[in-house]
Amino acid sequence: MAIEKQRFGRTGHMSSAVLFGGAALAKSDQDEADRVLDLLFEFDINHIDTAAAYGDSELRIGPWMKKHRKTFFLATKTRERTYPRAREQIRASLDRLCTDHLDMIQLHALIHPDEWEQALSAGGALEAAIEAREEGLVRFIGVTGHGWNVAAMHKRSLQRFNFDSVLMPWNYFASQHQTYAPDFFETWQICRERDIAVQTIKSIARGPWAAGAVKSYKTWYEPLEIEEDISQAIGWILSQQGLFLNSAGDVKLLPAFLRAASQNQQTPEDAEMEQLSEKMDLASIFGL
């Protein structure tokens, strides 16, 4: 049931095609977190992606990391935009994750133009990330984001700095978006040319929660929940060679997510994906 591995861009690390998304542990206690993290071994997941902003995630991963640090590529994120605050947060993340180094630090949710300019200019968060790399506290630097402008913003980011990884939404609905899809493919092509790893998120997003709906999952969007549908959505993404897929942000979804990713399934045809889209009424979770 092992999930296949592929080279995580210029880092050279052979990462599992599915990365564990640490947001799922934002509100977990340590017993639950340990059980969830132990599940990663069953599917041979060797790459964990979390963030300082994900509630208690770093605190839950840290004690477990004391036993398993050498097995995993460990990435976290800072949403701070200034050098001093990002510098402080990177070191706090090291403490919370119980490690003396991170494999990757990422500038989190860098999509607003004003924040972008601040973070990537003199005195910005990028300087703190570079300093941490020079000090051996981190090995690589990435950038992440959500929203319909993220692929275009990542393209700008790559013009400013040679990031090692980008993270952005991708699913069948996004692939049909008239402006986002071209931006995604253009940014992905730049990444291929420069050997930059591309992580994708929101693979099993169905749409926004309906007003007044009882939210049965901790994801901020309504996810697909039938295993057959999850399998089809994940199979569609993993069929696109070179992309990485971050798991969804709810521990209840994780077993079905990992089972789907570990299956040797045929690539869904466009007609099948269109049928899924119509059946589940897939919609934008970001607004148009």
Mean pLDDT of 226-231: 96
Give the DSSP letter string of 91-106: HHHHHHTT-S-EEEEE
- pLDDT score recorded for residue 150: 98
Nearest CA among 50, 107, 101 for reference residue 75? 50
Contact 218, 212 (CB under 8 A): no
Beta strands at 18-21 and 47-49: parallel, antiparallel or unpaired: parallel
Q: Which residue(s) pair with 141 in the sheet?
A: 105
CATH 3.20.20.100 fits 5-202+236-248, yes or no: yes
Mean pLDDT of 99-109: 98
What are the helix (H) ranges across 109-268?
113-120, 125-134, 150-160, 172-175, 180-194, 227-238, 254-262
Residue labelled with tokens 């069948």: 172
| Cα–Cα dist 141/145, whole Å | 14
Q: What is the mean pLDDT of the chain?
A: 97
The DSSP call for residue 23 is G
The pair of three-digit structure tokens given for residue 3, joined into one six-digit string? 């999930």
Q: Where are the domains of the chain?
A: 5-202+236-248
Mean pLDDT of 90-117: 98
pTM: 0.97
Q: Which H/E stretch holds residue 207?
A: strand 205-207
- pLDDT score recorded for residue 230: 97
The pair of three-digit structure tokens given for residue 280, joined into one six-digit string? 């589940």
What crossing angle do the helices spanning 83-96 and 57-68 adopt, rounded to 10°? 50
- pLDDT score recorded for residue 287: 73
The pair of three-digit structure tokens given for residue 273, joined into one six-digit string? 């994906």
List the end-to-end C-alpha distance of the chain, in Å, as a whole number.
38
Tally of CB atoms within 10 A around 135: 10
- pLDDT score recorded for residue 288: 53
pLDDT in tens, 115-141: 999 999 999 999 999 999 999 999 999
What are the helix (H) ranges across the chain?
30-42, 57-68, 83-96, 113-120, 125-134, 150-160, 172-175, 180-194, 227-238, 254-262, 270-280
* CA-based R_g, the chain, Å: 18
3-state helix, strand, coil in the chain (%, to 5): 45, 20, 35
Provide the residue type at 23 as one letter. A
Whether residue 265 is predicted with pLDDT greater than 80 in this model: the reply is no
- Residue 9, exposed/middle/buried by CB under 10 A (0-12, 13-18, 19+)? buried
Q: How many helices (H) and strands (E) does the chain have?
A: 11, 12
Q: Tell me the percentage of the chain whose pLDDT exceeds 70.
A: 100
